[in-house]
Amino acid sequence: MEKSVFMLHRLLFLICLILAARTIGEGNGQLLYSGFTGANLTLDGAATVTPDGLLELTNGTDQQKGHAFYRTPLRFTGSPGAVVQSFSASFVFAIQSIFTDLSAHGMAFVVASSTNFSSALPGQLLGLTDVQNNGNGSNHFFAVELDTIQNKEFGDLNANHAGANVNGLRSLQSYYAGYFDDEDGFDHQEGTSSRQM
């Protein structure tokens, strides 16, 4: 059973595109990738770029974490003390499991002041923190988690939700996973379906 719990994700366990406080010179701060071969990323842990250009953050072996960091930090303010600028991110991902009805814990998109997550643990902590410092103000990160297991210790809504987190894994807000369609309204999506989303 332990092997089945921890050897689950084939693609995209954890995305951490770390964006700190300096400007970049790529198209007004826009980052656009149609494949990750040769991308301006620093990878750590189990993360790799496959020969066909996919970003693979774990490979299905026990208790792994992987991060992808954008190398050049982005600036979110015009000057020190200024109002933080809004931003948006969209990406296509798939969470693939070696099992059809079971997945690992999910993944996260992160904005942080540091790229050092070396002491963070995999599993329900998503490679973002450890048990002792989960929720500490000194963590300095904002994350959108795409969670595929309900963790009662974090007050998770269910086993398939998106959550907005600051400095830890207890979401400030969370919603059922899916998207809104102008014609049909809310379309529920199962994060462990292995489909591109």
Confidence of residue 112 (pLDDT cuts 50, 70, 90): very high
pLDDT of residue 29: 67
pLDDT over 50 at 134, yes or no: yes
pLDDT of residue 72: 85
pLDDT of residue 48: 95
Structure tokens at 173: 């807000």
Report the percentage of the chain scoring pLDDT > 90: 38
Alpha helices, DSSP H, located in the chain: 2-6
Structure tokens at 172: 């400030």
- Of residues 3 and 192, the one with the higher pLDDT is 192
Between strands 66-70 and 48-49, the pairing is: unpaired
pLDDT over 80 at 60, yes or no: no
Asked whether the beta carbons of 136 and 146 are under 8 A apart, the reply is: no
pLDDT of residue 153: 94
- Of residues 7 and 79, the one with the higher pLDDT is 79
pLDDT of residue 27: 53
Exposed (0-12), middle (13-18) or buried (19+): which is 31, by Cβ within 10 Å?
middle
pLDDT of residue 137: 95
pLDDT of residue 194: 56
> What average pLDDT does the segment 121-135 reach?
93
pLDDT over 60 at 114, yes or no: yes
> What average pLDDT does the segment 175-195 reach?
75
pLDDT tens for 13-53 read 333 333 322 223 345 667 788 889 999 899 999 999 999 99
pLDDT of residue 71: 87
pLDDT of residue 138: 94
> What average pLDDT does the segment 64-91 reach?
86
Distance CA 66, CA 56 (A): 8
Distance CA 197, CA 178 (A): 9
Structure tokens at 56: 């693979």
User: Which of the given ranges, 11-15, 56-60, 115-119, has the highest pLDDT on average?
Assistant: 115-119
